[in-house]
Amino acid sequence: MQGEEPQTQSPPSRGLFWPIFLAGLLFASVGGNVVMMLIATGDPAFSVEENYYQKGLRWGETRAQETKNSELGWRLALQIRRLAGSVPPLVRVALTDREKKPIDDAKVHLVAFHNARAAKKLEAQLRFNSGEYLAKLPIARAGLWEFRFVVEREGQRFTKTIRRKVSL
């Protein structure tokens, strides 16, 4: 045993390089896709119309409702005012019938959203007070807003969508 030369260790095999390299590429690809998905879904400006497919299938019902709205002859006028000392603006709606008489016994439901933040919808049930329907909405952003109203009275339904530029 004295005459034997000490054996030197051979360098590690390069057989693991390619599997590790490919696994690293796969993990980088998956990680990059996860990051991109989080960025895309976390954008507050991104929104998809709820039940858009069902709404498309019921387009005939939507057209029939528009015809019904015309037959009813109801008018809906919208005002948005920020009163002194009022943090949320006051949404005021005047609702009149065909003869321009105020309608005071209807249920008025509102869904409102800013065009640039359509995923954040504000909802309110408006209350009748002194000839108009009122609600306070936390409108904190100026710009183009969409207001979708559903009015129900004595079994009749009236709908109205108003797009309005709001300045605060």
pTM to 2 decimal places: 0.75
Backbone angles phi, psi at 116, to 5 degrees: -85, -5
| pLDDT for the residue numbered 2 | 62
- Alpha-carbon distances of 72 from 8, 67, 68, 135, rounded to whole Å: 98, 9, 6, 24
Average pLDDT over residues 31-39: 93
For 149, the token pair is: 């109203």
pLDDT tens digits for range 80-120: 988 776 678 889 999 999 999 999 999 999 999 999 998 89
pLDDT tens digits for range 2-11: 656 666 666 6
Judged against a pLDDT cut of 90, whether residue 78 lies above it is answered with yes
Judged against a pLDDT cut of 90, whether residue 21 lies above it is answered with yes
How many residues in total does the chain contain? 168
Judged against a pLDDT cut of 90, whether residue 16 lies above it is answered with no
Helices (H), the chain: 17-41, 52-57, 59-72
Backbone angles phi, psi at 65, to 5 degrees: -65, -40
